[in-house]
Structure 1
């Protein structure tokens, strides 16, 4: 194997591919490389607000659920940072988003297999070599080509912008993923509207609510959801985020999976109980003496039209229950409207090798490898884009180490990281 040929190349370095890099590091049979156009690891930098926590326990780090003894564990990170006793006395199962991001940066800095500042331009299949060719452009403008037996696509998701906002470009309309970068400018508005009802929407709204008395703006929180609800967080409910449920869900026909997913929003959408409590407590405190804050919370309304109105915007909604129109004017709009999977442009030259379903989605096998149209011995694994085949746990950080264990075991043809068959108390489906 030449210096520029690898067993596997990862496209994108988010938490999942970073975890794969960490778990591959001690495996001598795997020569791996991971590429990302960013200058360093950053995980949702526009939403790294103070006092915001991951919605999974610290055990859902990059490696622990596969190898608790790994030197890349979160606990070893705390030890290296001389903060282990601080965390011990903190007595919290969940860590902050800011600390999780710093932990991932700490891991990335130790892995020579992770190369930042290198953009993947195109991937092609080299029939003569029986390899994939990965063409990149480095930050200095030079180009380079790597070769690999296998690929793992980890480009992640991109912010979802509803269609009615896409033709209204403005610095005062932006996705919540940019919030920290634009927060100071936002505070100068007279009226701010947050759209969405998930965790990001709640965190942005709470941040703006805390600063409202200082800056004096009107604050609105609108959503097409039926209300501002807590995400399901019961212990048996959480068992849906397990390898057991992945196997059950994947065993169903695709049409049944597609019918099942919309009804599972309570398992992966919504707001944490602590965030809801913080918002309500602050609203209550501000209302003492009958001085209700200039705040509007309105649900079951969907934006239909957006137009410029003076220095701000006019939103035309339709109330989904009353079927009535509603017009609202505001200076600034923050879209906490979630994310959507993106098929990387870099795979255009190999898309003919990949099997696609009727909705132009990947067909993903249970082992996270794509179904390919030709019988090539090489494989393409995915770290995103399998929501429709593997279910609600596909983007859950707690299942990243499990998925990477499956990928590594497949690559070397033996069990490097044991994968248990039974992980939860309940049974999903009837076993014949």
Structure 2
């Protein structure tokens, strides 16, 4: 029940800042004056997760917050907004509803503001179009006073004299060019810098060259016409994006001359686990259970749970089979090859019009080669490393045995006590919180956990009451786990409480 992870928010290489002695820093329009009071919270990155946090923070009295993103405006995976593609989570998994259904920023209120509530009601849709979700998020992002686009965060330091984080950032114009430099202070941070497309090592040189189209699925709609012009197309990847790309290409090719190959490493083009009890892996209860497991156990669990978040929804599988079957009605078979269990060993170019893929079948142990005119890499996304942005804080970061940042139950990086500010992370904690980390269905709950922890620290009160139990399944022995802050000794644990809501 996972959604497509957030796109990348920071550049692969951050620009160097001018050393002392060069022209003085030009402050960004709307930048904070040097003597301004630090924000209580500064968010870096404005994808769905930090946008959820910004929306839930909006009504909190006395909390000062700002959210920066380097892009000129909000767009959610524009390259994957294929006609008819829907979210894999219900519309209730919007930015705020599962924490505050009375919020002004719900999806239903968005529909009402567009005079589309009755059409949505009669459509009887539980899963909305991706394009509609993108438009909803853009409505929220453009309406909130705390969101600031065109602001690229470059580096983060701890300033003990101000007891605040010092964030250097660059103001970008509409074309992404640097206009000015700025510096902002914040007592606490939340990082939602998103993910970046993953390109397997054998295919990276091909993806970086301009000749034959070898493109990640995140740019599919931008490159669609160029891909369709190829005599033969290969799609690599068995998840939802790979299935949607394959189906869209199949529908666009003439019967009998499809010339499409679909390859995947997984042992099958498998349906996503969508049973009701299976979906309880995307509840706060399972997140708490997973976080409490030993590191080695967590690391072993995530790859085995691939069908929870890397499978294909049954509607898309059915549509693919129906399309293939329809093409057999006049006799013959479609010229389409679907082969799971295949790894790409090496790849190279043949002239200027073709790519040669060297393949190995994992179970058979056999090898083959495939010549194709275009490749779509539906190979997913990886969490963008935090190290570039947090390099000045490296000595203060606690890490696990694999060198990854340690993240506590409340989504806070574990820092040296010398740093009294808190750094929260969103969608950078799959290794500590499990497969639900990138899932849109947990966005509002995680945002509420973060805000409750923050307001509990600042005011001693919390704004969003959270349920103590969210699943029928009891994960592990010893009774059903209580939500953080609901059991004995919660105050000593420093965990969030589920007290009465504080309303402004």
Using the size of structure 1 for normalisation, the TM-score is 0.98
2:393 corresponds in structure 1 to 350
2:408 corresponds in structure 1 to 365
In 2, the alpha carbon distance for the partners of 1:228 and 1:352 equals 44
1:105 corresponds in structure 2 to 138
Structure 2: gaps of 5 or more residues: 1-31, 174-178, 480-504
SS in 1 for 2:83: coil
2:15 corresponds in structure 1 to none
Is 1:418 paired with 2:465? Answer: yes
SS in 2 for 1:238: helix
Q: In the TM superposition, what are the counterparts of 1:262-277 in structure 2 within 5 Å?
A: 262-277=303-318
1:145 corresponds in structure 2 to 183
Using the size of structure 2 for normalisation, the TM-score is 0.84
Is 1:128 paired with 2:161? Answer: yes
Structure 1 ranges of 4+ moved more than 6 A: none
2:378 corresponds in structure 1 to 336
Superposition RMSD in Å? 1.4
Task: State which of 116, 122, 127 in structure 2 corresponds to 1:94.
Answer: 127
SS in 2 for 1:266: helix
User: Could you tell me whether the CA contact under 8 Å between 1:246 and 1:391 is conserved in 2?
Assistant: yes
> Which shows bigger deviation, 14-23 or 213-222?
213-222
Is 1:227 paired with 2:251? Answer: no
In 2, the alpha carbon distance for the partners of 1:187 and 1:358 equals 46
**TM-superposed deviation, 1:217:** 5.0
In 2, the alpha carbon distance for the partners of 1:173 and 1:113 equals 38
Listed one character per residue, the Cα deviations across residues 232-284 of structure 1 (whole Å, up to 9, x for unaligned) are 00000001110111111111111111112221112111100000000100100
In 1, the alpha carbon distance for the partners of 2:258 and 2:434 equals 41
**TM-superposed deviation, 1:86:** 0.7
Is 1:286 paired with 2:324? Answer: no
In 2, the alpha carbon distance for the partners of 1:215 and 1:281 equals 15
**TM-superposed deviation, 1:216:** 4.9
> Which shows bigger deviation, 296-305 or 208-217?
208-217
2:202 corresponds in structure 1 to 164
User: Could you tell me whether the CA contact under 8 Å between 2:43 and 2:66 is conserved in 1?
Assistant: yes
The answer to which structure has the higher helix fraction is 1
1:74 corresponds in structure 2 to 107
**TM-superposed deviation, 1:214:** 8.4
Listed one character per residue, the Cα deviations across residues 184-218 of structure 1 (whole Å, up to 9, x for unaligned) are 11111000000000000000001100101189551
Aligned length: 432
1:241 corresponds in structure 2 to 282
**TM-superposed deviation, 1:289:** 1.9
